[in-house]
Amino acid sequence: QSALTQPASVSGSPGQSITISCTGSSSDVGAYNYVSWYQQHPDKAPKLMIFDVNNRPSGVSDRFSGSKSGNTASLTISGLQAEDEADYYCNSYTKNNIVVFGGGTKLTVL
């Protein structure tokens, strides 16, 4: 159960767009459309932002979008805002109902 690979950090200015990648394998990201993304502010519980690759839960801004190509999923945040500064984690379903997370990406809004 290897962790998914995410960049350690990304940054962008207010109003810009950024993309965070999440690379797995043909056993997880590449095999299933069950990739989710979470936002975590310091000392807070994670919040679900995207599920099933590209679906937003009710209440999540449409500035957040997800996609997948092969073994790599991506989270795009458009129109960056100061409150988007947080850690972001992807996860994927794998065989046998196992779930694997990425190592996390720290987003800095400059």
Partner 1 sequence: QVQLVESGGSLVTPGGSLRLSCAASGFNFSDYYMTWIRQAPGKGLEWISYITSTGGIMYYADSMKGRLTISRDNAKNWVHLQMNTLRAEDTAMYFCARRRQGGSRGAFDLWGQGTMVTVSS
Cα torsion 70, 51, 108, 19 to 10°: value is: 30
Helix (H) or strand (E) holding 28: none
Among 84, 91, 107, 109, interactor with partner 1 by CB under 8 A:
91
What tokens appear for 86 in the block?
């947080």
What tokens appear for 18 in the block?
């950024």
The site map against partner 1 for 3-32 (x = CB under 8 A) is x----------------------------x
Among 18, 20, 35, 109, interactor with partner 1 by CB under 8 A:
35
What are the φ/ψ torsions at residue 103 (nearest 5 degrees)? -75, -10
- Asked whether 6 and 89 are in contact (CB, 8 A), the reply is yes
Among 13, 26, 82, 96, interactor with partner 1 by CB under 8 A:
96
Residues forming contacts to partner 1 in the complex (CB under 8 A) are 1, 3, 32, 34-36, 38, 40, 45-48, 51-52, 55, 57, 89, 91-93, 96-104
